[in-house]
Amino acid sequence: MFRPAMLFLLAASAARAEPPLSPEALLRDADRSRGGIETGVTWTVDLEAVEDGVATNRTFLVKARGTDALSEALAPARNKGEIMLFNDRALWFVKPGLRKPVSISARQKLSGMAANGDIASTNYARDYDAVLAGEDLVDGEEAWRLDLKARAKNVTYDRIRYWISKKRRLGLKAEFLTVSGDLFKTATFAYGNRMTTGGVEFDFVSRMVIADAAAAANVTTLRFSAPKAEEHAPSIFNVNNLAR
């Protein structure tokens, strides 16, 4: 027979083991602070990549709304004016002088360790089936660990281990895996930005650091700045309007 004190401890343990929200709800909360906002948002991304000892820098202006996003290259000069359109799960590329948009993959390498999909808004709640896999500390912060499996082949990653802060509902760390479960890169996130939408103020991603699992010196840092809620006309996400 269990004593009252033991029953209390078992109940407390069970309470710690179950999240107050479903995995899908946790993902929706984390997505918001990484650009998954239905009403529209704009930000700038400065990308610095170090790969095999060579450093490169690029800058993008990103406009997103729901599952759509448009990224325009601002620098360096040789890439200025290049556009990637994330139209739901489809991705299109066009550059000055190119008459028709070209279909490309969100998984395709952008620069260094960053894939094309890494600079767009995050919609993990839509793109992945999520299972609660456990609890861990990430830099001293209590977090839920979720296992994510892609619902479609045209998303950025097949499988992700994703740590979401229990207290802040923010994505703290991600491990990106192949279909077979092999780790090939990791990412950590910081949230030094704040923004407001729908009268609610919340933390917004300020930095994503992506590291090569096979070569620790290969690191790509994405710095997100000047996020602001902004309504975007549906026409800017229409692939038929990209041709110049």
CATH number, domain containing residue 155? 2.50.20.10
Residues 6+ apart with CB under 8 A from 156: 106, 107, 115, 116, 117, 118
Q: Is residue 5 situated within a structural domain? A: no
DSSP H stretches of helix in 41-110: none
What pTM was estimated for this model as a whole? 0.89
CA 166/CA 170 separation, integer angstroms: 8
- Residue 118: its pLDDT value, please? 96
Neighbouring CB atoms inside 10 A of 228's CB total 13
Residue 8 lies in a domain: no
Q: Closest by alpha carbon to 148, among 165, 116, 124?
A: 124
Looking at beta carbons, which pairs linking 124-128 to residues 24 or more positions away fall under 8 Å? 124/27, 124/30, 124/31, 124/36, 124/148, 124/160, 124/162, 125/24, 125/27, 125/28, 125/31, 125/36, 126/67, 126/151, 127/89, 127/151, 127/152, 127/155, 128/27, 128/155, 128/160
Confidence (pLDDT) at 20: 67
Would residue 6 count as lying in a domain? no
13 occurs within a structural domain? no
**Per-residue pLDDT at 10:** 44
What CA–CA distances, in Å, run from 120 to 34, 67, 71, 244?
9, 9, 7, 22
Q: Is the residue at 229 inside a domain?
A: yes
Q: Is 170 left (phi over 0), alpha (psi -120 to 50) or beta?
A: beta
Residue numbers of the chain with a pLDDT score lower than 70: 1-20, 243-244
Non-local CB neighbours of 161 within 8 Å, separated by 6+ positions? 133, 145, 146, 147, 148, 174, 175, 177
* pLDDT at res. 31: 97
The residue segments making up the domain with residue 104 are 24-241
Identity of the residue numbered 160: I
Mean pLDDT (the chain, rounded): 91
Whether 1 is covered by a domain: the verdict is no
For residue 73, what pLDDT is reported? Answer: 98
Please count the other Cβ atoms lying within 10 Å of the Cβ belonging to residue 112: 23
Summarize pLDDT for 131-178 with one digit per residue, the tens. 999 999 999 999 999 999 999 888 999 999 999 999 999 999 999 999
The 3-state DSSP class for residue 162 equals strand
The answer to whether position 2 is within a domain reads no
The CA distance from 109 to 185, in Å, is 13
Note whether residue 9 is domain-resident: no
Q: How many domains does the chain have?
A: 1
